């Protein structure tokens, strides 16, 4: 039972255009969401997060949108750069003492020059 | 400051053997979590240790175990290896328990033949 789903295993975008990565979740107890980026042979690195009390968080070229009613979040990258090519993981956690992260299966983003 | 260090980087074991993986967290971080990454499955949570105590455990068989030492270094052990245990095993450290402020290591690539 996948509580966090990334239904697109891959996405290709032209350099300079917008990349939109999507993530859906089923557990209504999740109240904190994160995006990680992973290059081959490296561990995931934290990118951006959002709390359920917000519907948008922005950090430079990266913006995360949260739609709680639809249990959906998305990561927008504008403008996309070739160095953004990586696997992007969506993760979620619920408040409480056991705030473990539940990850999606990842989306491979390829930014074409 | 030094990041999260996982050793070894690569490992090849035979089915039925056991294996021990090591993780040294960032200095001052007391929480260590372990994840398994397989193609198409994303990151699956194995367990979290904080101050030498297992705080949370994922849905993995008892063949997967771990421990944490007084210096916060952690080891993960897998006994009676199966072909399906071939994966990238990632360790993440955090200054506090419960999933916040994760920093991942580069992982140990385990291949079971």
Summarised one tens digit per residue, pLDDT across range A48-75 is: 999 999 999 999 999 999 999 999 999 9
> How many Cβ atoms are within 10 Å of A83's Cβ, its own excluded?
9
Interchain contact, B106 vs A42, CB within 8 Å: yes
> Which chain B residues have a beta carbon less than 8 Å from that of A99?
97-100
Residues of chain B with pLDDT under 50: none
**In the prediction, which pLDDT does A94 show?**
85
> How many Cβ atoms are within 10 Å of A35's Cβ, its own excluded?
23
**Beta-carbon contacts below 8 Å between A and B:** 58
Mean pLDDT, range A94-104, rounded to an integer: 76
> Which chain A residues have a beta carbon less than 8 Å from that of B97?
97, 99
* A107-112 and A10-14 beta bridge pairing: parallel
Mean pLDDT, range A24-50, rounded to an integer: 92
Containing H/E element for B45? strand B42-50
- A82 pLDDT band, cuts 50/70/90, is very high
**In the prediction, which pLDDT does B2 show?**
73
- A97 pLDDT band, cuts 50/70/90, is very low
**In the prediction, which pLDDT does A35 show?**
95
Summarised one tens digit per residue, pLDDT across range B81-101 is: 999 999 999 999 988 765 567
> Which chain B residues have a beta carbon less than 8 Å from that of A96?
98
Is residue A98's pLDDT more than 80? no
> Which chain A residues have a beta carbon less than 8 Å from that of B106?
41-43
CA distance A15 to chain B (A): 26
Is residue A41's pLDDT more than 90? no
Is residue A78's pLDDT more than 90? yes
Task: Nearest chain B residue to A88 by CA: give it.
Answer: B42
Is residue A25's pLDDT more than 60? yes
Averaged pLDDT of chain A = 93
DSSP A78: S
**In the prediction, which pLDDT does A95 show?**
75
**Radius of gyration for chain A, computed over Cα atoms and rounded to the nearest angstrom:** 13
Most B-contacting residue of A24, A100, A107, A108 (CB-CB within 10 A), to test interface: A100
Interchain contact, B43 vs A43, CB within 8 Å: no
Is residue A79's pLDDT more than 90? yes
Name which of B49, B50, B47 is nearest B60 in CA terms.
B47
Preceding omega of B9 cis (within 30 degrees of 0): no
CA distance B101 to chain A (A): 9
Of residues A96 and A8, more confidence is placed in: A8
Interchain contact, B42 vs A6, CB within 8 Å: yes
Structure tokens at B86: 């071939």
Task: Nearest chain A residue to B6 by CA: give it.
Answer: A43
CA–CA dist A47, B73 (Å, integer) = 25
Interchain contact, B105 vs A41, CB within 8 Å: no
User: Are B73 and B25 contacting, i.e. CB atoms less than 8 angstroms apart?
Assistant: yes
CA–CA dist A52, A26 (Å, integer) = 14
> Which chain B residues have a beta carbon less than 8 Å from that of A41?
106
């Amino acid at each position: 039972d996948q509580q966090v789903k990334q239904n697109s295993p891959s996405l290709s975008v032209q350099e300079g255009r917008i990349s939109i990565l999507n993530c859906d979740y089923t557990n209504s107890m999740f109240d904190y969401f994160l995006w990680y980026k992973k290059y081959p042979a490296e561990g995931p690195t934290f990118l951006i997060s959002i709390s359920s009390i917000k519907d948008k968080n922005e950090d430079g070229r990266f913006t995360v949108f949260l739609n709680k009613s639809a249990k959906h979040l998305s990561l927008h990258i504008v403008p996309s750069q070739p160095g953004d090519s990586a696997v992007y993981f969506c993760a979620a956690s619920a408040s409480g003492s056991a705030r473990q992260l539940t990850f999606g299966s990842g989306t491979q983003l390829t930014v074409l020059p | 400051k030094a990041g999260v260090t996982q050793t070894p980087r690569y490992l090849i074991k035979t089915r039925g053997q056991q294996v021990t993986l090591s993780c040294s967290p960032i200095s001052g971080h007391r929480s260590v979590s372990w994840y398994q990454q397989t193609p198409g499955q994303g990151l699956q949570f194995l367990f979290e240790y904080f101050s030498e105590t297992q705080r949370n455990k994922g849905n993995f068989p008892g063949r997967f175990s771990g421990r944490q030492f007084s210096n916060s270094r952690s080891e993960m052990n897998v006994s009676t290896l199966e072909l399906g245990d071939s994966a990238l095993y990632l360790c993440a450290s955090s200054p506090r328990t419960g999933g916040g402020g994760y920093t991942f290591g580069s992982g140990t690539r385990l291949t079971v033949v």
